Amino acid sequence: MVKKWILFFSFFGPFQFYQLAMAVSPEDIVKYRQGILFGMGWNVGAMGSMVKGDVPFDRDKFIFFAERTAALTPMVLEGFQPETKDVESYTKQKTWENLRDFEKRMSQLLEETEKLVDVAKTGGESEVKKQFGKTAQQCKGCHDNYKKKS
């Protein structure tokens, strides 16, 4: 699954694969990406609560949230169309000149998230926590570079 995506990235480069096959306003594209990202935050937040010990660690629930995050991650890039660059959002302007790097970070996130699903299924609790940290680091790394402070 992960490999297939990386193959797509390297074959088609940015815009071609993510061209939208529908007429939609730039404002709606922004709403779409914010919606998916909010959903990712929802699921990652739920795992984070378990990792921090705010709620008891529950492997089945953790797998559920990790799988949902892995399902949402590949959807995000579709919302980062250059035609949205003048719409008010939390995306920094420099994102549009660095879409290759942006995409690379997103595929790294996908890789770590897929690993998180695997580790959640088979690993010990401490391994799960460690892999969660690596995954969350990908979120932070991109936010530090491309997301305005909210």
Q: Total number of residues binding ligand HEC (CB under 6 A)?
A: 22
Q: Is residue 89 at the binding interface for ligand HEC, with CB under 6 A as the rule?
A: yes
Binder of ligand HEC out of 29, 32, 37, 116 (CB under 6 A): 37
Place of tokens 């998230």: 113
* Residues numbered 98-127 forming contacts with ligand HEC, rule: CB under 6 A: 102, 105-106, 109
The residues that bridge with 147 in the sheet, in sequence order, are 91
Number of residues that make up the chain: 150
- Tell me how far, at minimum, the Cβ of 13 lies from ligand HEC, in Å: 16
* Residues numbered 57-76 forming contacts with ligand HEC, rule: CB under 6 A: 69
Q: Are 116 and 69 in contact (CB under 8 A)?
A: yes
**Nearest Cα residue to 39 out of 80, 67, 60:** 67
The residues that bridge with 91 in the sheet, in sequence order, are 147
Q: Which stretch binds ligand HEC (CB under 6 A): 10-18, 29-37, 55-63, 121-129?
A: 29-37
Q: Is residue 143 at the binding interface for ligand HEC, with CB under 6 A as the rule?
A: yes
Alpha carbon distance 20, 27 (integer Å): 14
